[in-house]
Amino acid sequence: MKFTKMQGCGNDYVYVNGMEEKIPPEKKPELVRRLSDRHFGIGGDGVIFINASVHADFEMEMYNADGTRAQMCGNGIRCVAKYVYDNHLTDKTNLSIESFGKIKYIDLTLGEDGKVSMVKVNMGAPILKAAEVPVISDNEQVVDEEIEVEGKIYRMTCVSMGNPHAVVFMDDVAHLDIEKIGPYFENHKRFPERTNTEFVHVIDDSHVEMRVWERGTGETLACGTGCCATTVACVINGLTKHTVAVKLLGGELSCEWDTEANLVYMTGPAVSVFNGEIDLNQERVLYKGSFLVWRMLCFSRVKYFCLYFCRWYWEYIICFCAKRSI
């Protein structure tokens, strides 16, 4: 199976042309888990299949690293747009891409080499109604609302950008033990479909820094929908202007919430890392390879043991002869 490894601000996925590579739907979750493994697979935050669409130019079929389906990924959809243009599947610089039944509209900026260098995505209207995010609350919207996680009180604002987000503002995100707290937010009982969680420090009225725990994946270097949700949460809480530069572990994205049109725009890079081809019967190949390595290690150990023994034996003979001569 042919694939392309791509990343947007370090949010990396394995991209597969689903129009050429036909994978049965029931086999995709297991395949995704294998390919996403950073030690035994290709490695990535998940896998995205690029398919034909009846309703748009293309479809993005996205999976998290754990094999579960995901509704939307801002970094992923930018990379899909770059993939279809750079690989001559379209000559349009204004595209429509469907993801989980929702259509996003995209503008491409080309570099001097004629390939896509920057992508602007109309991410649509943010969803603020608690029941539609979804998040369990007595209020119609969850804005600066308390949540208790592992005995500690946090304040969160919940937004859906096609997938659920809980935005938590704090003074310091650099030293946050996100590996510890992230899973508790993701699987909290108040989120019926689990949630992505953004931990955000506001630098000034135009800049924030953010770390993200993505459901089904863990901490990633960037999250496009998370940046959009963060921008909306910042504006609602009166913390920033409507256009925000979001600093991430993997780079920076620019997000704008046009409140008059009620649309969120995200602009950022998309990068092709490498192309490759993988044998889907790899488990047998890995087994043979592992067995060969095991045999080589065993042989090496025997060889070095023999060399060590011979050296020790001759040193003993020399010392014994020297003592006899004295």
Catalytic (active-site) positions? 73, 223
Length, in residues, of the chain: 326
Q: Which two tokens stand for residue 140?
A: 């119609």
Burial letters for 60-93: b for 16+ Cβ neighbours within 10 Å, e otherwise? bbbbbbebbebbbbbbbbbbbbbbbbbeeeeeee
Q: What DSSP element (H or E) covers 295?
A: helix 282-325
Are the C-beta atoms of residues 9 and 254 closer than 8 Å to each other? no
Q: Which two tokens stand for residue 235?
A: 């504006």
3-class state of residue 49 by DSSP: strand
Residue 282: what residue type? Q
Bridge partner residues of 247 (DSSP) = 209, 252
- Could you give the CA distance from residue 125 to residue 120 in angstroms, rounded to a whole number? 15
